Amino acid sequence: MTATPEVAVSSTTPSLDFDALVVLLEQIFLRHGTSADVAKTLALNCAGAERDGAHSHGVFRIPGYVSTLKSGWVNGQAVPVVEDVASGFVRVDAANGFAQPALAAARALLVEKARSAGIAVLAIRNSHHFAALWPDVEPFAYEGLVALSVVNSMTCVVPHGADRPLFGTNPIAFAAPRADGEPIVFDLATSAIAHGDVQIAAQKGERLPAGMGVDSLGQPTEDPKAILEGGALLPFGGHKGSALSMMVELLAAALTGGNFSFEFDWKNHPGAKTPWTGQLLIVIDPSKAAGQNFAERSQELVRQMHSVGLKRLPGDRRHHQRAQSNAQGIQLNAQTLANLRELAGL
């Protein structure tokens, strides 16, 4: 596992509005060799994560992107090749570029197929996903569609019952429309904690809760540095999370033609931080399904969940944070902002 020297932490908190952050991040990507389209796509993604308080995949990731681009591990100018393979299936060769521009290139065709066939699958290979996954699914739900996506990452998780790491942190994200309110969205790593959160805890000198990972001797540890330096993460929920992580490897890599988390080898590529793997997206048009209004039915489920005392749905925290960021600006500490401006050449 690689420990990334990400943006430093300090106490004062200037704020930026969303558009200003997007422009700043775009400048960084452009300055480090991406095409204008790739810069825009990545900047929107990363600024969106920061705005929504998804800090493990917000601006914290920028030095990792820069280092990867500088190293030549990823092609920031890649032009994805979209293949229309069947009535319900689209494939994309991301051409060793980032996954988000590959999704953007195939999106219109995917939606057209989902609306005509009721369901469509997008298989992206030869791609680097270094971001939160919810931005890939949430927009479909705003269009009345249901979306599920999986992506595999780099080997750092010990399968349940094994003694060495093999799986990635392999997230699963889901989005569904509902009649009254924001779409229902969840996005979770299949590891007990995301690798990015371990890096942030190590930076801040914080301990982790018990049960997240093991040290280089395979012993349980709450020290994030011990996990990053020769140790590994555990799946969430024991054998259950481990099975889901295995499923992600199969869907995101075996099915797409991408690398398994253990297959690419960046050891001899100094500066590489992004996993070179695959992503699968399934989009369903619910109007072709049960014959009932899906959004009303999902609203009913939410109503019932609230009626039994549920206070927080997945996504509620993000939307609360989004509203706050939109009203007050996105809070960044002064050192982080200075680092970003320097990377942008300002």
Ligand X SMILES: O=C(O)C1=NCCCC1
- Residues of this chain that bind ligand X (CB under 6 A): 56, 130, 153-154, 169, 189, 194-196, 275
Whether residue 196 contacts residue 60, with contact meaning beta carbons closer than 8 Å, is answered with yes
Q: Which of 27, 127, 153, 245 touches ligand NDP by CB under 6 A?
A: 153
Judged by DSSP in three states, 192 sits in coil
Q: Nearer to ligand NDP by C-beta: 124 or 132?
A: 132
Q: Nearer to ligand NDP by C-beta: 56 or 155?
A: 56
- Least CB distance from residue 168 to ligand X, whole Å? 6
The DSSP symbol for 191 reads: B
Q: How far apart are CA 3 and CA 302, in angstroms?
A: 40
Contacts of 311 (CB under 8 A, 6+ apart): none
Q: Nearer to ligand NDP by C-beta: 105 or 133?
A: 133
Residue 134 as a binder of ligand NDP (CB under 6 A): the answer is yes
Q: Nearer to ligand NDP by C-beta: 173 or 226?
A: 173
> Per the structure block, which two tokens stand in for 56?
């493990």
Whether residue 14 contacts residue 330, with contact meaning beta carbons closer than 8 Å, is answered with no
User: In this chain, which residue has its C-beta nearest to ligand NDP?
Assistant: 132
Binding to ligand NDP (CB under 6 A) within 163-182 occurs at 169, 171, 173
Our answer to whether residue 56 is catalytic in this structure is yes
Whether residue 63 contacts residue 7, with contact meaning beta carbons closer than 8 Å, is answered with yes
Concatenated DSSP letters of 209-278 = PTTSEE-TTS-EE--HHHHHTT-EE-BTTTHHHHHHHHHHIIIIIITTT---TTT---TTSTT--S-EEE
Residue 332 as a binder of ligand NDP (CB under 6 A): the answer is no
- Least CB distance from residue 42 to ligand X, whole Å? 13
Q: Identify what 315 binds: ligand X, ligand NDP, none; CB under 5 to 8 Å per kind.
A: ligand NDP
Contacts of 233 (CB under 8 A, 6+ apart): 156, 157, 158, 165, 169, 191, 192, 193, 195, 198, 212, 213, 227
Residue 151 as a binder of ligand NDP (CB under 6 A): the answer is yes
- Least CB distance from residue 126 to ligand NDP, whole Å? 15
Binding to ligand NDP (CB under 6 A) within 301-330 occurs at 312, 314-318
Catalytic residue among 52, 56, 136, 153: 56
Degrees, nearest 5: CA angle 48-52-54: 90
Q: Identify what 54 binds: ligand X, ligand NDP, none; CB under 5 to 8 Å per kind.
A: ligand NDP
Cβ count within 10 A of residue 286? 18
Catalytic residue among 136, 197, 245, 285: 197
Catalytic (active-site) positions: 56-57, 197
Positions in the binding site for ligand NDP (CB under 6 A): 54, 56-57, 129-134, 151, 153, 169, 171, 173, 186-189, 193-194, 197, 312, 314-318
